[in-house]
Amino acid sequence: MNPPDERELDRLRWDLESDRVERKRSASDRSKLRKNICALANDLPGHGLPGVIFIGVEDDDGRCADATIDDQLLTQLAGMKDDGNIMPIPSMVVQKHVLSGCEVAVIVVEPSRSPPVRYQGRVWVRVGPTVRAASPEEEQRLSERQRAGDLPFDRRPALDASVDELDLEYLESHYLPQAVAQEVLDDNRRPLHQQLRSLRLLAGEAPTWGALLGVGKDPQGWIPGAYVQFLRIDGTEITDPIRSRKELTGRLEDVLRQLDELLKLNISLRTEVAASSLETRSPDYPLGALQQLVRNAVMHRRYDGTNAPVRVYWYSDRVEIQNPGGLYGQVTRENFGTGAVDYRNPLVAEIMHHLGFAQRFGFGIPLAKSELARNGNPEPDFDFQPTRVAVTVKAIL
pLDDT of 279 reads 65
Q: What are φ and ψ of residue 321, in 5° steps?
A: -120, 130
**Per-residue confidence (pLDDT) for residue 298, from 0 to 100:** 97
- Which of 308, 381, 388 minimizes the C-alpha distance to 344? 388
Per-residue pLDDT, 251: 97
Which of 381, 243, 245, 368 lies closest to 309, judged by CA? Answer: 245
Euclidean distance between CA atoms 222 and 212, whole angstroms:
8
Long-range contacts, stretch 158-161, CB < 8 angstroms, 24+ apart: 158/206, 158/207, 158/208, 158/209, 158/211, 158/212, 158/222, 159/206, 160/206, 161/206, 161/207, 161/212, 161/222
Neighbours of 277 (CB within 10 A): 6
Prior bond of 88 cis (ω within 30°): yes
> Other CB atoms closer than 10 Å to residue 122's CB: what's the count?
16
Torsion of CA 52, 50, 80, 338, to 10 degrees: -120
CB atoms within 10 A of CB 387: 11
- Nearest Cα to 253, choosing from 192, 175, 324? 175
* CA separation for the pair 159, 24 (Å, rounded): 46
With beta carbons less than 8 A apart as the criterion, state whether 349 and 343 touch: yes
The three-point CA angle 325-327-328 to 5° equals 95
Sign of CA dihedral 312, 318, 324, 325: positive
The DSSP call for residue 236 is S
Which pLDDT does position 381 carry in this prediction?
97
Question: Domains in the chain, ordered, with CATH?
Answer: 6-131 (3.30.950.30), 148-218 (no CATH), 228-394 (3.30.565.60)
| pLDDT for position 60 | 87
Per-residue pLDDT of the chain (397 residues), as tens digits, is 566 888 889 898 888 878 899 999 999 999 999 999 999 999 998 888 999 999 999 988 889 999 999 999 999 999 999 888 999 999 999 999 999 999 999 999 999 988 899 999 999 999 888 899 998 888 878 887 765 556 899 999 999 999 999 999 999 999 999 998 888 887 777 788 888 998 999 998 999 999 999 999 999 999 999 999 999 999 999 999 999 999 999 999 999 999 999 999 999 987 665 555 566 778 999 999 999 999 999 999 999 989 999 999 999 999 999 999 998 888 888 889 887 788 899 999 999 999 999 887 878 999 999 999 999 999 999 999 989 999 999 998 7
Q: If residue 106 lies in a helix (H) or strand (E), which one and from where to where?
A: strand 102-109
